[in-house]
Structure formats: structure tokens, C-alpha cells
């Protein structure tokens, strides 16, 4: 069976070491990955799904926030990923957002970010580690619950910002112990799920691998639907 092709955006600083790990998760889930980034070809029509990866902060210019002196920004990547999310929505392609990618899904769909999330949510414990230290609670009735189950998760955390006002068509899928948003998802298809943690580093955890399987599964379903449409057109030509 042909493996769905997943475009993966990465940071220009750390993509060289993160992309292979994301690609491995995608391969185990039944897909294959191609690396995207500013200056690299990125055609949504030519792939079956997208991962918006982690990395630099998103420019507050995109959502009406204020520039923070400590922020590391990449305007070219911002523009690329905002376009990809919107095109994926238009073309019905599934998207998984990881950390920054979760925030980009929200911003691209008209939402905002809390730039001082750990000040706003004082009860949320701040971790900066790829080790599973943070507890998140999956909300009932969400797609994330269907994917990974209803039990609380122990995940990693590297972020300082978080989703604030939700973008169009999104709902909260998980929060941490201090009620900070940790996952968002589209209410209806196409599949769009954003997680604030880094499941690619938790490849040994079956619930985290299930997140990649869900993306690849949605990509395969879209690929098969496209093949059926093409076959129907050929039969009537």
C-alpha cells in the first residue's frame, strides 16, 4: 500500500535534528515525510497531510500582540506556515501542529496567543524538558480523546506561550492542571489537531504514537477518496 506523503515544517535552527525524529514517528504510523521550510518547495496539492513543527515564537504581528524582547522570530517561517494551514483547510488536507505548530493552527484560523501564559495561569507548573513531567487532562467528547483515550497524560513541555482566544472552528481538547490550554482541534473535518507538547520525543508511549497514526490515517483516507474520484472521472470520460 502506498504510504501517504506528509510535509513537515521545521525550524531553520534545529530542523536538522528534529525532522528525522518526526519522520521516524510518521514512518512507524504508516506514512513518509518530506521536510519543508522557508526557501524549500512546499506544495499542499502534492502531499496528503502536514505537520507544523515546533521551534521559534510566532510573531505577535499576526494576532495583535506585543513584541517581546526575548522572543526569537522567523517571519519567513510564519508566512509559510500560515499559508500552509489555510491551504490545507481549503483543500481538505489533515494537519498536526506540534508546540509552535499548535499555536500556528490557532493563529492562522484567527485566534490569539497568551505571550505570558505562566503568569496568567499561575497554577500551571512550568517545565522546560523533553522528559514527561507535565500532566494534561483530555476533555471528554473530543477527537483527541478518541485518539489517545480519556485518561490524563504525562507529557513534556518546552513552551512559554499558549493559545488564548480560539480560532474559527476550534475547540479546546486538553488543559493542564492550571487550566492552561494544551491541545486544540477542529470541531469538524478536515482533521486539525494541535498539541502543545512534543509527541515526537515520546515515541515509546503508545498514546503519543497514536497521534501520528491519526494524522496518517486521515491522510490515507483523503488519498483514497481522491483516487476514487479520479477513477470515477476516468470511467465517465
pLDDT(237) > 70: no
Domain with 81 in it: 5-236
Q: Which of 81, 159, 185, 198 is catalytic?
A: 198
Q: Which of 69-73, 90-94, 163-167 has the lowest mean pLDDT?
A: 69-73
Residues 109 and 101 sit within 8 Å (Cβ to Cβ): no
Q: Can 200 be counted among the known catalytic residues?
A: yes
Is the distance from CB of 101 to CB of 51 less than 8 angstroms? yes
- CATH code of 107's domain: 3.40.50.880
Whether residue 34 is predicted with pLDDT greater than 60 in this model: the reply is yes
pLDDT tens for 55-66 read 888 999 999 887
Contact criterion met (CB below 8 Å) for 107 and 60:
no
| Domains identified in the chain, total number | 1
Given 81, 99, 159, 201, the catalytic residue: 99
pLDDT in tens, 135-157: 999 999 999 999 999 999 999 99
Query: What's the whole-model pTM score?
Result: 0.94
- Written in H, E and C, the secondary structure of the chain is CCCCEEEEECCCCCHHHHHHHHHHHHHHCCCEEEEECCCCCCCHHHCCEEEECCCCECCHHHCCCCCCCCCCECHHHHHHHHHHHHHHHHHCCCEEEECHHHHHHHHHCCCCEECCHHHHCCCCCCCCEEEEEEEEEECCCCHHHHHHCCCCEEEEECCCCEECCCCCCEEEEEEECCCCEEEEEECCCCCEEEECCCHHHHCCCHHHHHHHHHHHHHHHHHHHHHHHHHHHHHHHC
Burial class (CB in 10 A: 0-12, 13-18, 19+), 29: buried
Question: Of the listed 159, 185, 200, 201, which one is catalytic?
Answer: 200
Amino acid at each position: 500500500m502506498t504510504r501517504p506523503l506528509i510535509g513537515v515544517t521545521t525550524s531553520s535552527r534545529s530542523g536538522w535534528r528534529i525532522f528525522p525524529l518526526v519522520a521516524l514517528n510518521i514512518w512507524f504510523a504508516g506514512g513518509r515525510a518530506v521536510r519543508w521550510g522557508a526557501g524549500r518547495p512546499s506544495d499542499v496539492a502534492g502531499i496528503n497531510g502536514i505537520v507544523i513543527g515546533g521551534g521559534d515564537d510566532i510573531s505577535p504581528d499576526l494576532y495583535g500582540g506585543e513584541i517581546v524582547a526575548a522572543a526569537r522570530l522567523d517571519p519567513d517561517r510564519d508566512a509559510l506556515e500560515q499559508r500552509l494551514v489555510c491551504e490545507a483547510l481549503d483543500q481538505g488536507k489533515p494537519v498536526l501542529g506540534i508546540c509552535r505548530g499548535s499555536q500556528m493552527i490557532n493563529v492562522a484560523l484567527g485566534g490569539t496567543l497568551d505571550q505570558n501564559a505562566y503568569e496568567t495561569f499561575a497554577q500551571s507548573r512550568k517545565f522546560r524538558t523533553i522528559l514527561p513531567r507535565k500532566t494534561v487532562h483530555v476533555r471528554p467528547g473530543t477527537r483527541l480523546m478518541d485518539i489517545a483515550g480519556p485518561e490524563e497524560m504525562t507529557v513534556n513541555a518546552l513552551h512559554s506561550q499558549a493559545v488564548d482566544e480560539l480560532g474559527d472552528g476550534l475547540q479546546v481538547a486538553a488543559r493542564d492542571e492550571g487550566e492552561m490550554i494544551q491541545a486544540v482541534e477542529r470541531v469538524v473535518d478536515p482533521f486539525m489537531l494541535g498539541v502543545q507538547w512534543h509527541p515526537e520525543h515520546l515515541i515509546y508511549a503508545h498514546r503519543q504514537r497514536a497521534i501520528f497514526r491519526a494524522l496518517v490515517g486521515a491522510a490515507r483516507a483523503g488519498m483514497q477518496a481522491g483516487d476514487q474520484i479520479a477513477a470515477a472521472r476516468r470511467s465517465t470520460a
